[in-house]
């Protein structure tokens, strides 16, 4: 056990987009910054191309099974950016006007697509985001685009944070990129934060926060064993003037719930209104002969497709339903996605099966044809149905296995609006891919783990109404000045697209207010650092916005 209480200016919990971005700017501005990350620190050479226990695949993930919802997230230095597929679209304009279940605009009045665009620009400059050309897309992306065209729909190459000159199309990017082609935070914001003096401590899991007599904060943590995450190797306390919580939408509310005993009453919305970003998966088994006949596809060797495992993550999406004139809950995107073996092979169902469809002889045949799979990822507008129950004794979940697997206290019962939206998107995927016998399609089962998400959102969301939002429009926790939340839990609801770009933009936007709060507490810190590589174009575009964001 650590005997002495340490001190820092700013304590950042988590090193994903919300943590790395804030840590970099505050360190570059002159503050003493300490980052506590519960997962390991993996170098590029440690990202392995297998699924063995103890590999990067199990060490870098956190899979928490709840009641009706399971969450797959990052658990390493760099957080979700290490295990994401680097798809970086901006949220559609209509998203910011959503009402959801509360009968009024969910997002703060100060935030719209127009006001967030300068912050999106800052992220694009920092992560070198580019829109892929058709020559960059994977075989799977090309097949999805051709199928969309075959049914009179459109297809769009995705903007991504990938350096295509380094990408070898190995399709292992979900378990970390050993070639540093994927622009995770390990190659931009985090090295820049370290260069400015920030300290990053892996395997440090924050348990709760308390208050000092003079109004600062004490952050209490456990040190996690580097192989068996169920074992703790000690604990400690760090005092900080400012705390930035960015532990992820499945862990941030748990830390705050556990802190209520020492900090006082939390806003009602802490641990409520969780969104799984409306996510759902369908697996299609492609008829190779039909792919050649109907779509004219040929890889050059007489094979039409059979390339599920070749390429990269998502490269092509259908955005025909991202139309602001459509009613809420009827808007969604359909995105080609490579989901690697493991969980995917368990949950993929047998098309047109009677009875249980995730095992048996039909499933064996389905797995035999895995090279001809095409997975389609749907992101609808869900209704923020998730609620976190009482926190476990330690961590964000009860650890079941040595790594990766836990049981959490999140309950999720999808509303009729959510179910209808899933059904509508499922029907459209089926219509596109089964036309003229191209494929057989079946949604993933919810029987084993409930609904599932790789993009948890909204469990401590921002907004204007204190009754339905835990944070104000600058990401500060209501009733607890000096505590800010900058991860996906701050996003008010489902986005209908991959959320990393929006999470990062909101974190960039939060920094001026955090800097001002630190200055008010006597920290000698300034705002104005360029992008991690020194670029300054994005800095200029946000200058007019700073006065309102730094208000106190």
Question: How far is it, in rounded angstroms, from Cα 106 to Cα 97?
Answer: 7
**pLDDT tens-digit map of 87-102:** 999 999 999 999 998 9
- pLDDT surpasses 70 at 361: no
Helix (H) or strand (E) holding 113: helix 113-127
Which is nearest to 474 in space by CA: 409, 372, 386, 552?
552
CA dihedral 380, 384, 386, 389 (to 10 degrees): 160
Buried b (16+ CB within 10 A) or exposed e, 434-463: beeebbbbbbbbbeebbbbbbbbbbbbbbb
Q: Give yes or no for a contact between 374 and 352, defined as CB atoms under 8 angstroms apart.
A: no
Tokens of 351: 């098309």
Please list, in sequence order, all residues whose beta carbon lies within 8 angstroms of the beta carbon of residue 96, skipping any fewer than 6 positions away. 105, 107, 111, 112, 113, 116
Average pLDDT over residues 58-77: 93
* Of 335 and 445, the one with more pLDDT: 335
Mean pLDDT throughout 70-82?
95
Predicted local confidence at residue 50, as pLDDT: 82
CB within 8 Å of 237: residues ≥ 6 apart: 2, 5, 6, 218, 219, 220, 221
CB 394 within 8 A of CB 303: no
Check: CATH 1.20.58 for 131-160+279-379+413-449?
no
pTM: 0.95
**Residue 311 pLDDT exceeds 50:** yes
Rg (CA), the chain: 22
Tell me if 254 sits within 8 A of 398, measured CB to CB.
no
- What would the mean pLDDT of 184-206 be, rounded to a whole number? 97
How many Å apart are CA 79 and CA 11, to the nearest integer?
Answer: 16
Top-confidence range, 161-175, 183-197, 367-381: 183-197
What phi, psi does 501 have (nearest 5°)?
-65, -40
Question: Where in the chain do CATH 3.50.50.60 domains reside?
Answer: 1-62+69-126+176-275+394-408+453-552
Summarize the confidence of residues 18-33 as an average pLDDT. Answer: 98
Closest by alpha carbon to 473, among 521, 508, 506? 506
Which residues are paired to 375 by β-bridges? Answer: 283, 337
Select the more confidently predicted residue: 369 or 456.
Answer: 456
Alpha helix stretches (DSSP H) within 330-414? 343-347, 361-368
Which residues make beta-bridge pairs with 67?
Answer: 411
Retrieve residue 502's tokens.
Answer: 């929006």
Q: How far lies 143's CA from each of 432, 434, 513, in Å?
A: 11, 13, 46
pLDDT score recorded for residue 55: 85
Judge whether residue 2 has pLDDT over 60.
no
Mean residue pLDDT across the chain: 92
Identify which of 264, 245, 150 has the alpha carbon closest to the alpha carbon of residue 207. 245
How many secondary structure helices (H) and strands (E) does the chain include? 14, 21
- Residue 337 half-sphere exposure toward CB, CA atoms < 13 A: 25
Nearest to 118 by CA among 525, 548, 551: 548
Q: Which of 293, 332, 278, 241 is nearest to 514 (CA)?
A: 241
pLDDT above 80 (res 447) = no
- Distances in whole angstroms, Cα of residue 236 to Cα of each of 35, 84, 138, 225: 14, 31, 47, 15
What pLDDT score does 296 carry? Answer: 95
Q: What is the CATH topology of the domain spanning 1-62+69-126+176-275+394-408+453-552?
A: FAD/NAD(P)-binding domain (3.50.50)
The string of pLDDT tens digits covering residues 475-516 is: 999 999 999 999 999 999 999 999 999 999 999 999 999 999
Mean pLDDT of the region 255-261: 98
> What is the pLDDT averaged over residues 247-266?
97
Whether pLDDT at 338 is above 90: no
Residues of the chain with CATH 3.30.410: 131-160+279-379+413-449
pLDDT of 31 = 98
Identify the weakest region by mean pLDDT among 45-49, 301-305, 533-537, 542-546. 542-546
Q: Are 13 and 206 in contact (CB under 8 A)?
A: yes
Mean pLDDT of 200-220: 97
Does the pLDDT at position 359 exceed 90? no
Give the confidence band of 357 by pLDDT, cuts at 50, 70, 90: low
Query: Which is it for the CA torsion 451, 455, 459, 463, positive or negative?
Result: negative
Phi, psi (rounded to 5 degrees) for 297: -90, 145
Q: At what angle do helices 500-520 and 17-28 cross, to 10 degrees?
A: 40
When pLDDT is cut at 50, 70 and 90, the band that residue 360 belongs to is low
Closest CA to 269 of 461, 420, 12: 461
Task: Check residues 12 and 103 and name the one with the higher pLDDT.
Answer: 12
- Scanning 151-251, the segments in alpha helix (DSSP H) are 189-195
How many CB atoms neighbour CB 31 within 10 A? Answer: 25
Kindly indicate the confidence band of residue 552, based on its pLDDT and cuts at 50, 70 and 90. low
Confidence of residue 186 (pLDDT cuts 50, 70, 90): very high
Of 208 and 444, the one with more pLDDT? 208
The yes-or-no verdict on residue 1 having pLDDT over 50 is no
- CA pair distance 552, 337, nearest whole angstrom: 43
């Amino acid at each position: 056990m650590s005997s002495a209480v340490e001190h820092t200016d700013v304590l950042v919990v988590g090193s994903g987009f919300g943590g790395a971005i804030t840590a970099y700017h505050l360190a570059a501005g002159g503050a003493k910054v300490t980052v506590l990350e519960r997962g390991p620190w993996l170098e590029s050479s440690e990202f392995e191309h297998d699924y063995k226990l103890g590999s990067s695949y199990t060490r870098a993930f956190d899979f928490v099974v709840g009641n009706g919802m399971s969450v797959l997230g990052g658990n390493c230095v760099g957080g979700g950016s290490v295990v994401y597929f680097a798809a970086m679209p901006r949220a559609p304009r209509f998203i910011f006007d959503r009402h959801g279940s509360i009968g009024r605009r969910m997002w703060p009045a100060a935030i719209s697509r127009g006001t967030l665009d300068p912050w999106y620009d800052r992220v694009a400059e920092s992560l070198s985001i580019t829109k892929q050309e058709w020559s960059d897309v994977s075989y799977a992306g090309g097949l999805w685009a051709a199928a969309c065209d075959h049914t009179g729909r459109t297809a769009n190459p995705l903007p991504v944070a990938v350096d295509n000159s380094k990408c070898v199309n190995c399709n292992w990017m979900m378990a970390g990129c050993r070639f540093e082609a994927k622009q995770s935070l390990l190659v931009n914001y985090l090295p820049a934060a370290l260069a400015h003096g920030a300290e990053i401590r892996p395997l440090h899991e924050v348990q709760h926060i308390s208050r000092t007599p003079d109004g600062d904060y004490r952050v209490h943590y456990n040190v996690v064993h580097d192989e068996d995450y169920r074992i703790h190797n000690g604990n400690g306390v760090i005092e900080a003037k400012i705390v930035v919580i960015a532990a992820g939408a499945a862990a941030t509310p748990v830390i705050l719930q556990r802190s209520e005993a020492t900090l006082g009453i939390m806003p009602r919305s802490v641990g409520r209104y969780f969104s799984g970003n409306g996510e759902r998966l369908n697996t299609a088994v492609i008829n190779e002969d039909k792919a050649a006949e109907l779509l004219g596809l040929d890889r050059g060797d007489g094979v039409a497709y059979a390339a599920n495992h070749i390429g990269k993550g998502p490269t092509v999406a259908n955005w025909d339903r991202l139309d602001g004139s459509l009613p809420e809950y009827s808007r969604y995107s359909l995105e080609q996605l490579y989901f690697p073996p493991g969980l995917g092979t368990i949950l993929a169902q047998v098309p047109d099966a009677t009875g249980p469809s995730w095992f048996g002889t039909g499933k064996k045949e389905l797995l035999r044809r895995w090279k001809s799979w095409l997975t389609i990822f749907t992101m609808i507008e869900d209704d923020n149905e998730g609620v976190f129950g009482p926190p476990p004794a330690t961590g964000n979940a009860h650890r079941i296995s040595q790594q990766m697997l836990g049981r959490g206290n999140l309950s999720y019962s999808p509303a009729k609006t959510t179910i209808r939206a899933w059904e509508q998107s499922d029907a459209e995927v089926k219509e596109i891919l089964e036309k003229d016998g191209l494929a057989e399609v079946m949604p993933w089962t919810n029987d084993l783990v409930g609904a599932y998400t790789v993009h948890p959102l909204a469990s401590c969301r921002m907004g204007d109404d204190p009754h339905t939002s835990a944070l104000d429009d600058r990401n500060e926790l209501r009733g607890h000045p000096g505590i800010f939340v900058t991860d996906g839990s701050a996003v008010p609801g489902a986005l209908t697209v991959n959320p990393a770009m929006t999470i990062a933009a909101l974190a960039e936007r939060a920094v001026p207010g955090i800097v001002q709060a630190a200055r008010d507490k006597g920290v000698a810190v300034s705002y104005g650092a360029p992008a991690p590589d020194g670029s300054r174009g994005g800095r200029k575009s946000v200058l007019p916005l700073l006065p309102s964001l730094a208000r106190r």
